[in-house]
């Protein structure tokens, strides 16, 4: 007797509305708790740092709290939508495409999938809004790329990812080692970076270009391209006895998807330099206005800071004292100090004889208390139009998700001539993805981006007097010694990267894969710790590059990548795959927006820093270095164990 067929109608009549609601509530509660576990550390860490160490309030705290909640809800729906909807698309097409199509068709699909997945990445929205803090007079080409040519910038990134996915699939067919592609690509990147470094117009674009490589490898691109790559490898892997035919065949595409966008952005900058159509040139036709409406307050002039921290009486105030026998102005603005003499108690009165009376102006920091009070009384951002923001987020979500799904559906139906299996589940997954991305985008606008920008703008208070984010009064440095403050800032950045990386679900999944492929030699816990330390060191160096004016981003990028070329040459294929792909999986949907916004905030408040790009780039190179170095040690110990076993057998 065949088993009974169940449908949504049967389930409704059996369980009822209350039963279905109860099951769905428990299901989504568990999924939401999973997302909360991945974000709670980084959010709490940022809040504690600003409130207790920087001693500054969280401006618009209620708005940010609601935004962070929307991010968690959005990620819950989005990741579940990926699992139910987009991932089955990629796996099905990846398994059928190599059997039913020729190589050009496969590569064309891979290219278009890479482009579409890039537009669907949540962090792309942050990249589009990143141009508000760049001053056009200081970095005209960078300003135009982020504002006037932002659409071209995103398209260039998408094309770079598309080429990377197509080349990664082509590599599987030919059985190439990842080294064959990584070594020339990184060499080209270093040459382009050094060339841009010598050109004052192109130099500010270096940080943006390298950060774009981290932005693209997010929760949409990585699962889809990996599903496609694994599906292809199942078909062609048996024909390859070397290269990509092993258990690590799915690795490598993420690496290429991180490198090609950097090349694409640098070439886009070179094109507009030759076209001479950026800000300030005769061919410029843009508005000359940043895309971001709200601007952080400009830092005060140095003489204003000096006057606030070390106030002195003027000649006019001295003449007023001679006339009125008291200092002019508010009595709370000065104090009298008695130097020398003798104090005695006479008839219940304290008499200070033969003393010098010295009047001092006091620092005008009492206004800071009023500023803190005013901010805590305004927990909600009144300028935020919630309905318009939600409608805009829904529109952006539809523009990103729907074309990608339509493209994959038409590929399956028209080119592969296959029916869509489990259409109801996939439709539900796509709906969840739309809802999730809309909530996530709204949460970025309300929560993560303001929190990251606010903290980044306030971090320099550890070593310099600044105007806090959203304030109007100068706050003195937390540490009297600027070097001490900068070191504390670097330590904060290290533990931020370390903790956020350990919370990334993708790294946990990768750790299990690496332990399985290496037959337990490279433990999952060891890989996670090594990658987290690398990311923490990278973010710390990125913050140091902004805090110490003598450090330059290009000089922090080129030497590590030269070392990487050497390590890649001498490392085994499996560790090359693990290390280079590890840099991609660590830049997740929470880390990228927060770190990017934080970097832009730091850049806006540190004198001499044009922009805040580059932190993500250094956060990507760190884990590659650490994994390759530890991989060499692990490989050596494994060879020694095998040699010892062989000696015992003999």
Instruction: Tell me which of 564 and 79 has the higher pLDDT.
Output: 564
Q: How many Cβ atoms sit within 10 Å of the Cβ of residue 198?
A: 9
Average pLDDT over residues 484-509: 81
Q: Spell out the residues 6+ positions from residue 335 whose beta carbon is closer than 8 angstroms to its own.
A: 359, 360, 362
Q: How confident is the model at residue 212 (pLDDT cuts 50, 70, 90)?
A: confident
* Range among 11-15, 23-27, 112-116, 607-611 with highest mean pLDDT value: 112-116
pLDDT of the residue at 466: 82
Across the range 125-145, mean pLDDT stands at 76
Which of the two residues, 459 and 521, has the higher pLDDT score?
459
Residue 69 has pLDDT above 60, yes or no: yes
CA distances from 209 to 140, 156, 201, 542, 554 (A): 15, 11, 14, 15, 12
Q: Looking at residue 263, what is its pLDDT?
A: 95
Residue 190 has pLDDT above 90, yes or no: yes
Tokens of 505: 């679900």
Residue pLDDT, tens place only, 477-486:
888 888 898 8
Nearest to 144 by CA among 19, 301, 291: 291
CA atoms within 13 A on the CB side of 257: 38
Distance CA 369, CA 349 (A): 34
Outline where 459-570 has alpha helix (H): 482-502, 505-517, 524-547, 553-570
Q: What's the rounded mean pLDDT across residues 459-483?
A: 82
State the average pLDDT for the chain: 77
Under a CB-based contact definition with an 8 Å cutoff, are residues 444 and 67 in contact? yes
As a whole number of angstroms, the distance between CA 247 and CA 237 comes to 9
Which residues touch 580 (CB under 8 Å, ≥6 apart)? 178, 182, 251, 252, 254, 255, 258, 568, 624
> Residue 301: its pLDDT value, please?
46
Is the pLDDT at 365 greater than 60, yes or no? no
Tokens of 636: 């050596």
Give the length of the chain: 650
pLDDT higher than threshold 60 for residue 368: no
Q: Long-range contacts for 89-92 (Cβ within 8 Å, ≥24 apart)?
A: 89/224, 89/405, 89/408, 89/409, 89/412, 89/426, 90/223, 90/224, 90/225, 90/227, 90/228, 90/231, 90/408, 91/227, 91/230, 91/231, 92/231, 92/412, 92/418, 92/421
Query: What is the average per-residue pLDDT within 209-230?
Result: 77
CA-wise closest residue to 595 among 462, 469, 461, 459: 459
Q: How far is 365 from 310, CA to CA, in rounded Å? A: 11
- Cβ atoms of 244 and 175 within 8 Å: the answer is yes
How far is 414 from 598, CA to CA, in rounded Å? 45
* pLDDT score recorded for residue 585: 66
Residue 263 CB partners (closer than 8 Å, separation 6+): 160, 185, 188, 189, 192
Pick the range with the lowest mean pLDDT from 305-314, 355-364, 443-452, 549-558. 305-314
pLDDT at 76: 85
Each residue of 612-631: pLDDT tens digit?
Answer: 788 888 888 888 898 888 88
Instruction: Flag whether pLDDT at 413 surpasses 80.
Output: yes
User: Does residue 124 carry a pLDDT above 70?
Assistant: yes
- Of 44, 251, 213, nearest to 123 by C-alpha is 213
Q: What are phi and psi of 7, to 5 degrees?
A: -140, 175
* DSSP H helical ranges for 377-422: 386-410
pLDDT on residue 565: 92
Alpha-carbon distance 102 to 595, whole Å?
42
The more confident residue out of 301 and 460 is: 460
Residue 308 has pLDDT above 70, yes or no: no
Distance of CA 592 to the CA centre of its chain: 2
In this predicted model, which residue has the larger pLDDT, 33 or 308?
33
Tell me: the pLDDT tens digits for 434-452?
A: 898 888 888 888 888 888 8
Model confidence at 125: pLDDT above 60: yes
Integer angstrom CA distances of residue 243 from 36, 176, 210, 573: 39, 5, 28, 8
Asked if 153 contacts 144 with a C-beta cutoff of 8 angstroms, the reply is no
pLDDT digits (tens, 9 = 90+) for 533-584: 988 999 899 888 888 876 788 888 999 999 999 999 988 887 888 788 776 6
Per-residue pLDDT at 610 = 66
476, 365 Cβ separation under 8 angstroms: yes
- Residues 115, 593: Cα–Cα separation, whole Å: 20
- Quick one: CA torsion of 132, 610, 594, 278, rounded to 10 degrees? 50
- For helices 573-585 and 615-649, angle between their N-to-C axes, nearest 10 degrees: 150
* pLDDT (0 to 100) of residue 138: 81
Region 53-65 average pLDDT:
84
CA distance 141 to 186: 24
How confident is the model over 238-272, as pLDDT tens digits?
A: 444 344 444 445 577 888 888 999 999 999 999 99
Lowest-pLDDT choice from 52-56, 278-282, 373-377? 373-377
Instruction: Give the mean model confidence (pLDDT) for residues 107-133.
Output: 76
What phi and psi values does residue 338 have, to the nearest 5 degrees?
-105, 120
- What SS3 class is residue 360? strand
Backbone angles phi, psi at 19, to 5 degrees: -65, -45
pLDDT band of 288, cuts 50, 70, 90:
low
For the chain, the first-to-last Cα distance in angstroms comes to 61
Q: Mention every residue, 6+ apart, whose C-beta is less than 8 A from residue 638.
A: 521
With 80 as the cut, is the pLDDT of residue 398 above it?
yes
% of the chain beyond a pLDDT of 90: 11
Mean pLDDT of 423-432: 84
Nearest residue to 609 via CA among 460, 407, 389: 460
Whether the CB-CB separation of 585 and 527 falls below 8 Å is answered with: no
Residue the block writes with tokens 């001539």: 417
Instruction: Return the DSSP state at 293.
Output: S
Q: Is the pLDDT of residue 211 over 60?
A: yes
Other Cβ atoms closer than 10 A to 525: 9
Helix intervals (H) in 175-220: 178-197, 205-216
Q: Give percent of the chain with pLDDT exceeding 70.
A: 76
The pLDDT of residue 8 is 47
How many other C-beta atoms are found inside a 10 Å radius of the C-beta of residue 406? 11
Burial of residue 13 (CB within 10 Å: 0-12, 13-18, 19+) is exposed
Burial 507-523 (b: 16+ CB within 10 A, else e): beebbebbbebbeeebe
Instruction: Give 209's pLDDT tier (boundaries 50, 70, 90).
Output: very high
């Amino acid at each position: 007797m065949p088993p009974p067929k169940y449908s949504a109608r049967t389930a409704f009549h059996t369980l009822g509305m209350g039963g279905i609601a109860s099951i769905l509530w428990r299901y989504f509660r568990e999924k939401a708790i999973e997302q909360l576990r991945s974000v709670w550390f980084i959010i709490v860490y940022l809040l504690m740092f600003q409130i207790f160490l920087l001693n500054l309030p969280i401006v618009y705290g209620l708005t940010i709290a609601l935004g962070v909640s929307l991010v968690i809800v959005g990620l819950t729906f989005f990741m579940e939508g990926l699992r139910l909807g987009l991932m089955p698309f990629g796996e099905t097409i990846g398994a059928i495409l190599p059997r039913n199509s020729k190589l050009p068709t496969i590569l064309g699909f891979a290219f278009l999938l890479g482009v579409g997945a890039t537009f669907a990445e949540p962090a792309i929205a942050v990249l589009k809004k990143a141009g508000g803090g760049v001053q056009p007079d200081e970095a005209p080409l960078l300003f135009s790329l982020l504002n006037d040519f932002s659409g071209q910038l995103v398209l260039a990134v998408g094309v770079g990812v598309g080429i990377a996915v197509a080349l990664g699939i082509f590599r599987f067919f030919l059985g190439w080692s990842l080294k064959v592609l990584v070594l020339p690509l990184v060499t080209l990147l270093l040459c382009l970076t050094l060339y841009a470094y010598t050109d004052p117009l192109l130099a500010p674009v270096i940080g943006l270009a390298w950060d774009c490589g981290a932005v693209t490898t997010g929760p949409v691109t990585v699962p889809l391209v990996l599903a496609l790559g694994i599906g292809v490898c199942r078909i062609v892997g048996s024909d390859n006895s070397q290269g990509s035919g092993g258990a690590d065949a799915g690795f490598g595409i993420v690496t290429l998807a991180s490198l090609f966008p950097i090349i694409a952005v640098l070439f886009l900058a070179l094109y507009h330099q030759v076209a001479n159509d950026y800000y300030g040139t005769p061919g410029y036709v843009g508005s000359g206005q940043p895309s971001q409406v709200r601007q952080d307050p400009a830092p005060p002039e140095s003489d204003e800071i000096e006057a606030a921290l070390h106030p002195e009486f003027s000649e006019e105030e001295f003449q007023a004292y001679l006339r009125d026998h008291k200092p002019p102005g508010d009595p709370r603005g000065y104090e009298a100090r008695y130097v020398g003499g003798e104090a005695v108690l006479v008839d219940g009165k304290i008499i200070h004889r033969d003393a010098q009376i010295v009047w001092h102006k006091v620092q005008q920091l009492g206004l800071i208390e009023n500023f803190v009070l005013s901010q805590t009384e305004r927990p909600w951002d009144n300028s935020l139009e919630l309905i318009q923001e939600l409608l805009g987020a829904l529109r952006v979500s539809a523009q990103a998700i729907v074309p990608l799904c339509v493209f994959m559906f038409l590929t399956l139906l028209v080119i592969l001539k296959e029916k869509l299996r489990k259409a109801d589940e996939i439709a539900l997954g796509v709906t969840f993805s739309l809802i999730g991305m809309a909530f996530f985008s709204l949460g970025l606008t309300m929560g993560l981006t303001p929190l990251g920008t606010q903290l980044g703008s306030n971090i320099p208070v550890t070593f310099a007097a600044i105007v806090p984010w959203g304030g109007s009064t100068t706050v003195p440095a937390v540490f009297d010694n600027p070097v001490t403050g900068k070191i504390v800032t670097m330590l904060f950045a290290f533990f931020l990267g370390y903790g956020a990386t350990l919370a990334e679900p993708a790294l946990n999944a990768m750790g299990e894969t690496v332990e399985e492929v290496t037959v337990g030699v490279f433990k999952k816990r060891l890989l996670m710790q090594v990658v987290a330390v690398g990311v923490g060191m990278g973010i710390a160096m990125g913050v140091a590059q902004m805090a110490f004016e003598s450090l330059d981003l290009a000089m922090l990028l080129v030497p590590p990548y030269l070392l990487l070329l050497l390590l890649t040459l001498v490392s085994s294929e499996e560790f090359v795959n693990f290390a280079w792909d590890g840099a991609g999986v660590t830049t997740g949907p929470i880390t990228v927006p927060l770190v990017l916004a934080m970097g832009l905030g730091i850049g806006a408040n540190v004198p001499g820093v044009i922009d805040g790009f580059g932190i993500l780039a250094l956060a990507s190179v760190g884990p590659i270095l650490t994994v390759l170095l530890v991989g060499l040690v692990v490989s050596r110990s494994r060879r020694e164990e095998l040699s010892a076993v062989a000696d015992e057998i003999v």
